[in-house]
Amino acid sequence: MSLRGVIMSLLLIAATAHAADDPLTFVLIQPGSPGSSEEAAPLMARWAGYLSAHLPGRPRVNGLYVNSLEQAKSVVQSKNKPHFAIVTLPYYLEQRGRHDLQPQLISRPGGKSDDRYRLLVATASPVANWRALKGDVAGTLCYNADAVARLMFRQPSFAALPFRCQPTDRLLRGARQVVRGELSGVLVTDEQFTSLMALPEGKQLRLLHASELLPPPLVVTFGQPDAALHGVIQALLGMKDDPTAKELLTELRTDGFGPLDLAGLTLLQNRP
C-alpha cells in the first residue's frame, strides 16, 4: 500500500471511531462579537455539516459559537470539551497554557492573512501618543486586555499602561462616546477599523497608535491533533477553493483558512 493509502486508512479508522462514539466538536470563540449562540446555531450546523461531508466516514460534527469569556470557560472546561476551536489571537495567548491550545491554521477574515490592532481617539483630542493618554478606552479587544498590552504596547499587562481598558460588545456606541468625549479612545481590529471608517463616526476619529502586523484568528486543537483532526485541518484548508463552500465562507466572514506562520507566532508567545 502507498503512503497516501496508509494515511487515508488511518483517517478513515479515526473518523469511524468518532462517528461511533462522541461527535467531533468545535467552538468558535469571539469575545464581544455580535449575536448569540442561539442565533448562530443554524450557521454552525451548516458548517458542521460541510465538515462532516468532507471527512472520511462522514463522522458527526457539532459546532458552537460563543462570544463571552464565561461561556468559553464553561465550554472548554466541560467534561466533553471541544476537539478544536477558532479563537482570537489575544484569547489564544492568554489561554494556550491552561488548555493546551495547539495552533494549526489561520482564518482569513476579509481575505487577509494578517491583522493589525489600532487605538483610535477623537480628531479633536490633543494627545500626541499613547503614553500621554489618560482615562478609559473600550473595545472587544479589552476582553483579553493583558495580551493586547503585550501585542500593541509591549507592556506586561494593561495595568502598566496610563489608561484603562473597558470590554464592550457595542463598539459603535464606544466610538460615539469617544467623539462626545466620554471615552478616551477605542481599540479595534483591522476588520473593525475598516467597518468603522465607513461610518460617519469614523470621520471624527484619528489613529493614535497601531500594532505591527499580527496573525488573524487561529484554528487550534486541544492537545496534539489525532488522525481525525488532521482530516479536519485538510477539510478547512480545502474550503477556500471549493465552490460549494463560497456561500458558507461569506456568512462566516472569511475567504477560508490558510497555513500558519508558526515561527512568527512563537516570537509573539515569547514576548515578555
Tell me the pLDDT tens digit for each residue of 170-220. 999 999 999 999 999 999 999 999 999 999 999 999 999 999 999 999 999
In angstroms, the first-to-last Cα distance of the chain is 49
- The answer, yes or no, to whether residue 13 has pLDDT greater than 80, is no
- Residues paired with residue 139 on neighbouring β-strands, in sequence order: 167
pLDDT averaged over every residue in the chain: 92
**Which of 74, 69, 75, 68 has the alpha carbon at shortest distance from 35?**
68
Give the model's confidence band at 162: pLDDT under 50 very low, under 70 low, under 90 confident, else very high: very high
In the three-class reduction of DSSP (H, G, I as helix; E, B as strand; rest coil), residue 272 is classed as coil
Question: pTM value?
Answer: 0.89
Q: Whole-angstrom Cα distance, residue 85 to residue 70?
A: 16
Where in the chain are the domains?
3-113+215-260, 118-210
Q: Does position 6 have pLDDT exceeding 80, yes or no?
A: no
Task: Quickly count: other Cβ atoms within 10 Å of residue 73's Cβ.
Answer: 15
Domains 3-113+215-260 and 118-210 share a fold: yes
Cell of 265: 507566532
Q: Beta strand pairing status for 24-29 and 61-66?
A: parallel
Domain 118-210 has CATH 3.40.50.970: no
CATH assignment, 3-113+215-260: 3.40.190.10
Identify the pLDDT of residue 11: 42
Q: Which whole number is the average pLDDT over 56-74?
A: 95
pLDDT in tens, 78-95: 988 999 999 999 999 999
Q: State whether the Cα torsion 105-110-111-114 is positive or negative.
A: negative
Among positive and negative, which fits the CA dihedral 32, 37, 42, 47? positive
